[in-house]
Structure 1
Amino acid sequence: MLTGKQKRFLRAMGNEMDPILQVGKEGVTEAVVSSTNEALEARELIKGRVLPNSLEEPKAAAEDLAGRAGAELVQVIGRNFLLYKESKNNPTIILP
């Protein structure tokens, strides 16, 4: 569980990022979960977007994806969200 200070730190890092993950009209599928896990292992912090044609609400989709990927949901703004998960092999982000 992340503290408020850690979430602020990660949100500041996420400001400069572009979304690399998209949840489409199919919602949170196994393919989306596996690509999320790969991206989180490589980067630790990723930004995603729920497309307008998705049947799921952005907050619900982000929470579902975070739960299935074992990640922490840092933030949801509009249709964008931030996920964090510490890398097992190569941790690069040092939380305060």
Structure 2
Amino acid sequence: MSLSQQQKKALRRIGHHLHPIVAVSEHGISEGLQNELERALNDHELIKVKLALPDREGRAAMLEQLLADSGAEAVQTIGKVALLYRANPQADPKLSNIQRFENHHGRR
């Protein structure tokens, strides 16, 4: 899945006011973290992840691992926060950040 620049722009607009709901520390990616990331992506589709690692190279490597493990795509990375997206056609409309935004703003 590769998002166009226009799709990324729309997702950044939706994700602007989101808060990180998954945090990755220097301890790495545990099974619990993977489970939480899966749950968050399934429920919300668009999430922010905080990469609490001191160096840029470590954050980039950790982000690449998270993307590979989850099948999500990075929409944007600013400092220690990454905006991730993975579509879920069966997402609960009350939990999906995408569907809630579209319903609230009269899209669809």
TM bucket (normalised to shorter chain) is 0.7 to 0.9
Aligned-pair distance for 1:53?
5.7
Which has the larger share of helix? 2
Q: Percent identity?
A: 35
Is contact 2:53–2:59 with CA below 8 Å preserved after alignment?
no
Residue type at the aligned position of 2:83: L
**SS of the counterpart of 1:57?**
helix
**SS of the counterpart of 1:41?**
helix
Partner of 1:31: 32
What TM-score, normalized to structure 1?
0.84
Larger Rg over CA atoms: 2
Query: 1:63, 1:88 → 2: CA distance?
Result: 24
Partner of 1:13: 14
The gaps in structure 1 that reach 5 residues or longer are none
Is contact 1:59–1:76 with CA below 8 Å preserved after alignment?
no
Q: Structure 1 residue runs of 4+, over 6 Å off?
A: none
Q: How does 1:1-96 map to 2 (within 5 A)?
A: 1-52=2-53, 57-90=58-91, 93=98
Counting matched residue pairs gives: 95
What TM-score, normalized to structure 2?
0.76
**SS of the counterpart of 1:12?**
helix
Answer with 44-53 or 1-10: which moved more: 44-53
Aligned-pair distance for 1:27?
1.4
